[in-house]
Structure 1
Amino acid sequence: MSGRVKLMNILMRQKASKLKPSHRDTPRRWNIVRGDTVQVIQRNHPEYGKQGTVSAVLRDQNRVIVETLNLGPKRIKGDPERGTKGQTVMMERSMHYSNVNLVDPVTGFPTKVTYSFLEDGTKVRISKRSGAIIPKPDILKQKPLRNLIASEDSDTMKDEDVWAVSYQKKVSKWVDMRNELLQTLEEKGLESRKTGA
């Protein structure tokens, strides 16, 4: 085999990453949920050793956002119509889920988690450090608030007003123009008949 053929075979070969996508990064199960207390365990992270509460879990990106940790500047544009100026604020940035671990409620140190079942059949998280149960946060039981628009001044205070039909069908402008055109044609037709007769 010549050198040119070997070189072409190497260049035409597909990369291994295209053939087999790597799924090593995605966790099998998510131990961290919104409202958990976590500690940064990545040694070269600037927030190493600090604890905070998880405010959001981004599962499609394998990242978490922890309150008051990993702050970074974010530029907010100004709106001249409202009269607000642009400003730079410090906001929490996301970090990879592998950089944080759950905090043991008994010892206060980061711990790995295993799962077990209670006598009534509920699945719970168990700390590997102390063996204590890590309960799910109460914030998960609360339903998120929807953007409800409640107006204090209602136009319909009476039941009759609520059930009254208020829809008025609008006639298309093309129908009006057509009717005007037909009317002018009829008038011209009548005038030509009168003058012709």
Structure 2
Amino acid sequence: MRFDILKLIGKNSKRYANLPDSYIKRKMERIYWKTPGWPRHLPKTHQKKKFYFGLERPWTNEFRMLNPASEIPKHEHVEPILNWSFFRGDRVEILTGPDKGKQGVVSVIYEEKNWVIVEGLNTIIDFVGKNKDFPGIPMRKEMPLLVTEDIQLVDPQDLKATKVEWRYTEEGEKVRVSLRTGRVIPIPPSHYETIDYKLPRSYKENDEKDTLKAIVEKVTFKPELKTFEMDIMEKMGIKEDRVQKPTYWY
């Protein structure tokens, strides 16, 4: 089944980024100026909405260089995965390539293309700083793996690869279940780690810099089925006793 990759930009490019949505949107904007026809006055702006996704993340300078404002990227198709089953910190087994049969930990997720990076596996030799006078420094670079064909999750019961399915427990919790053993595969804690602190539950409020949780959760407005004028009149005790003049339509 084919699916337009551009439909995935809004939600998937930032789901595993742990960065504010406004920051990523600002970094992804590509605006160029074009002078309209006669009369020549203020410039006309166009915002780039189609992007090419690779190994560079949408908020980096490398991503900006791959997506100049004046170029339209080649159309790509990506198989849609409605229930994403791989998270940062999962142990997976590689099914193809020279590292077939080896197991590793997922370190980076590229859901725009159904890719993941497995730490230390599926690597190539990349020569950094190579030019005509210098051969470059050889370094290993981890390459992406396709989640639909190249990897499978490892069942924690017997440490073997297995297909998984999302199911619901009796309490209504959505969990991943191994189709081979029926065991629940929990989501690793590293999936919840953020940039500024390790885990949300370990965060400590700072009275000087942060807005306290109790203040944020305090309800200060209750919506009612009244207009603004009706609400003000009720709070100030104003009663409407004026009679509208009759109107006539001809």
Superposed displacement of residue 93, structure 1 = 1.1
Superposed displacement of residue 128, structure 1 = 0.6
Relative to structure 1, the CA distance from residue 76 to residue 22 in structure 2 (aligned partners, 3 Å threshold; closer, same or farther) is closer
Question: Residues 148-163 of structure 1: matches in 2 within 5 Å?
Answer: none
Q: What amino acid maps onto 1:51 in structure 2?
A: Q
Match of 1:27 in 2: 81
Match of 1:130 in 2: 181
Paired residue secondary structure (1:139)? helix
Q: What amino acid maps onto 2:144 in structure 1?
A: S
Q: Is the 8 A contact 1:52 1:67 kept in 2?
A: yes
Relative to structure 1, the CA distance from residue 86 to residue 31 in structure 2 (aligned partners, 3 Å threshold; closer, same or farther) is same
Superposed displacement of residue 75, structure 1 = 2.4
After superposing on structure 2, the runs of 4+ consecutive aligned residues of structure 1 that deviate more than 6 Å are: none
Match of 2:142 in 1: 92
Superposed displacement of residue 59, structure 1 = 0.8
Paired residue secondary structure (2:108)? strand
Paired residue secondary structure (1:64)? strand
Q: Is the 8 A contact 1:39 1:110 kept in 2?
A: yes
Distance in 1 between the 2:174 and 2:94 partners?
26
* Percent of residue pairs identical: 34
Distance in 2 between the 1:27 and 1:127 partners?
18
Q: What amino acid maps onto 1:96 in structure 2?
A: L
Match of 1:10 in 2: none
Paired residue secondary structure (1:49)? coil
Q: What amino acid maps onto 1:93 in structure 2?
A: M
Distance in 2 between the 1:134 and 1:53 partners?
14
The one of 193, 196, 199 equivalent to 1:142 is 193
Match of 1:66 in 2: 118
- Gapped regions of structure 1 (runs ≥ 5): 1-20, 79-84, 147-197
Q: What amino acid maps onto 2:156 in structure 1?
A: P
Superposed displacement of residue 22, structure 1 = 8.8
For normalisation by structure 2, the TM-score amounts to 0.43
Q: Deviation per CA, 1:118-153, whole angstroms, max 9, x where unpaired?
A: 23322110001111110001001221248xxxxxxx
Distance in 2 between the 1:22 and 1:73 partners?
27
Paired residue secondary structure (2:107)? strand
Q: Is the 8 A contact 2:78 2:113 kept in 1?
A: no
Equivalences, count: 118
Q: Deviation per CA, 1:153-178, whole angstroms, max 9, x where unpaired?
A: xxxxxxxxxxxxxxxxxxxxxxxxxx
Indicate the RMSD between aligned Cα atoms, in angstroms: 2.4
Match of 1:118 in 2: 169
- Gapped regions of structure 2 (runs ≥ 5): 1-74, 198-250
Relative to structure 1, the CA distance from residue 143 to residue 87 in structure 2 (aligned partners, 3 Å threshold; closer, same or farther) is same
Q: Is the 8 A contact 1:107 1:130 kept in 2?
A: no
Greater helix share, structure number: 1
Paired residue secondary structure (1:74)? strand
Q: Is the 8 A contact 2:83 2:166 kept in 1?
A: no
